[in-house]
Amino acid sequence: MERQTAAMRELSRRAFPELGEPADNALAPKEQARSEWRRRADASHAAAVRRAREERAARQAGTTAAVPQSCELRTTA
């Protein structure tokens, strides 16, 4: 039984060599994707908050001109 298990593990290592052990400080691909998603979501949220504050300040000042866009927004889908 132990020889079979060792043989199966060896075959698995040969078949999937890129699935090695990650380094201690490296994130798993799933965690990297989540981290990137969170970073983009936070940036989008910050841009929306800035834009809302600029628009509110323009309304309170009585300015009717459009508030300039502070950063490029991306769309999904």
Q: Where are the domains of the chain?
A: 27-60
pTM of the model: 0.46
Contact by Cβ (8 Å): 51, 70: yes
On the 0-12 / 13-18 / 19+ scale of CB atoms within 10 A, 26 is exposed
Residue-wise pLDDT for 33-76, tens only, equals 899 999 999 999 999 999 999 999 999 998 755 555 555 666 77
Residue-wise pLDDT for 6-28, tens only, equals 999 888 888 887 655 555 566 67
